[in-house]
Amino acid sequence: MEALLTTAFLTALVTGAVTAGIPLLLAGLGEQMSEKAGVLNVGIEGMMLAGAFAGFFAAYMSESIALGFLAGALGGFGVALLMALLCVRLGLNQIVIGIGLTLGFEGITALLHYNLFGRSYPRLPAVETLRIPGLADIPVLGPAFFDRPLIVYVAVLLVFVVSFVYRRTNLGLYLQAAGDKPAALDVTGIDVVRIRTFAVLTAGTLAGLGGAFLSEVGAGLFVPFMTNGAGFIGIVLAMLARGRPFWVLAGAAIFGACLSLTTALQVAGVNVPTDVIQMIPFAAVMAVLIIFGRNAHLPAALGIPYVRGAR
């Protein structure tokens, strides 16, 4: 066990946890906003994949990570646009369309990858980091938290921004009302459909960024189906966080640590089959749901399309 507690191992573990946690954080924040406004977004996995592919493609072609993230956000936004049109505007079933979109974009991204990169499997160079002087020199925590790509800081900053929006702005109130009592919101003259559309599109954009992070920063390449359930974990985080962005951050950190442990233990030569370790995060969710299940709060009108005048 002593060999496990070296500085190098701990640094790798914490750094890996941050790298694995950021996509979950972005997806979870997005899903949280969507759920708050009453749209259960099961298509988030597809949005992440679209973002992952678009981000990788743009970053590879333009050799610019920033453009990559822009494209990733747009990719997620594009899928969310479909979701908003079908589920918010037309009021089709959110779960059904969500599954359809996830399946569809699993296929489309895999197909595009096969056609464009199926023979070459290109990789992106390592992403440049933004070193925060002083803090970055702390052992273990420094390299893990304060010597990372810009997008990591942006993602964490977003938690504060979103939290502020929910607590202090009218928009936050509208979002909450759209999920809890859409008819009441409608009466005050705010368009429920518009608020929900905004929430779904924001969710898609954040999920797209999360996907782009997976392919650009996490892996450095695109692999078909690479999100591997990250979007679904995002949904769980959003449900357990009960509308609080900081809880999503905490959840993403815990899940990131579980995922990071998988790789770190293997690197350290601990002989446990990967499958056992891969079970940890999902077993953790189930344990949390069994213990705190009763407290999982969901907006009253979640999953129900809003049609003005229909009862």
Partner 1 sequence: MDEAQAIHPLHDKASSRPTLEAWRSLALVTVGPILLAFLLCALALLIAGHDPIAYYLYVVERGVFSGQGLQQTLTRMAPLLLHAASLIIAFRAGIWNLGGDGQFLLGAVMAAALGPVLVTVAPDWITLIACMLLAMLVGALWSLVPALLRAYQGVNEIITTLMMTFLGTSFANVLVKLIFLDPATTVPQTRTLPVEDRLAWLPGTTISSGLFIGLAAVIIVHLVMTRTAFGLRLRIVGANPKAALHAGLSVSALTVIVFALSGGLAGLAGAVDIVGVFGNVRADWNPAYALAVVPLVFLARFNGWATIAFVFFYAVLDIGGESAARRIGVPQYFTLVLVATMFILLALAEWLDQQRRARQRS
Contacts to partner 1 by CB under 8 A? 40, 42, 82, 86, 90-93, 95-97, 99-101, 103-108, 110-111, 114-115, 224, 229, 232, 235-236, 239, 273, 275-276, 278-279, 282-283, 285-286, 289-290, 293-294, 296, 298, 304-305, 307, 310-311
d(CA 126, CA 39): 36
Smallest distance, Å, CB 277 to partner 1?
9
Nearer to partner 1, 187 or 310 (CB): 310
Smallest distance, Å, CB 202 to partner 1?
21
Q: Which residues of 102-121 are buried (b: 16+ CB within 10 A; e: fewer)?
A: bebbbeebbebbeebbeeee
Nearer to partner 1, 92 or 150 (CB): 92
Nearer to partner 1, 144 or 265 (CB): 265
Nearer to partner 1, 219 or 304 (CB): 304
Smallest distance, Å, CB 203 to partner 1?
16
Smallest distance, Å, CB 155 to partner 1?
23
Smallest distance, Å, CB 145 to partner 1?
28
- C-alpha distances in angstroms, 186 versus 89, 131, 171, 183? 15, 47, 14, 5
Smallest distance, Å, CB 265 to partner 1?
15
Q: Where are the alpha helices (H) located in the chain, listed in sequence order?
A: 7-36, 44-62, 65-83, 94-117, 141-145, 150-168, 170-180, 182-187, 192-213, 230-240, 245-267, 274-292
Single-letter amino acid, residue 305: P
Query: Taking the mean position of all CA atoms in its chain, how far away is CA 192?
Result: 24
Nearer to partner 1, 2 or 275 (CB): 275
Q: At what angle do helices 44-62 and 192-213 cross, to 10 degrees?
A: 50
CA Rg value for the chain: 20
Smallest distance, Å, CB 105 to partner 1?
8
d(CA 82, CA 97): 9
d(CA 188, CA 184): 7
Nearer to partner 1, 46 or 149 (CB): 46
DSSP string for residues in 245-272: HHHHHHHHHHHHHHHHHHHHHHHTT---
Nearer to partner 1, 65 or 238 (CB): 238
